[in-house]
Amino acid sequence: MFPHLFAEYERLGADCILLSMCSADPRHSLMARAHAATNCYWISLSSPAIANGRNPSGLIGPDGDVLAGCPPCLPGMVVQTIDRGDPRFTIPLHHARPWRAHAVAGGISV
C-alpha cells in the first residue's frame, strides 16, 4: 500500500477511508489496521467473498482495532455507526491526531 496517500488523507481531515482490496496476503489487512491507527481514522475494508478468507471485509477503528467484520469467505455487509464521541477513541481522535497535526505544522520545537 502507499503510506503517503494514507498520510495525505489524514492531512485533508478524512474521518473514514473506503479501501477495496483483492488479496490473500494477510499482511494487507494488518497494514490497513496500522494505517487506521497511525492516522487515527476509520478504514472500511472491502474484499470479494471468494478472496477474503485471510482478509475479510470489515470496519477498522481509529485505534486499529477491527470493530465489525464479515465472516471469512462468505458474502456479507457490515453496518456500523462511526461515533467520534465514543470514549475508546478519545486518545486517537482528540489527542494523537491534533498533536500530530500541530507537530507537522512546525508547532513543536526541541
Which of these ranges, 12-26, 29-43, 45-59, 95-109, has the smallest mean pLDDT?
45-59
End-to-end CA distance of the chain: 32
- Of the listed ranges 4-8, 33-37, 40-44, the one predicted with least confidence: 4-8
Q: What pLDDT score does 51 carry?
A: 67
The mean pLDDT value for 72-101 works out to 90
Rounded CA separation 53/104 (Å): 38
Global confidence as pTM: 0.88
Looking at residue 75, its pLDDT comes to 78
Q: Which of 60, 61, 58 is nearest to 84 (CA)?
A: 61
Cβ atoms of residues 45 and 73 within 8 Å: no
Residue 52 has pLDDT above 70, yes or no: no
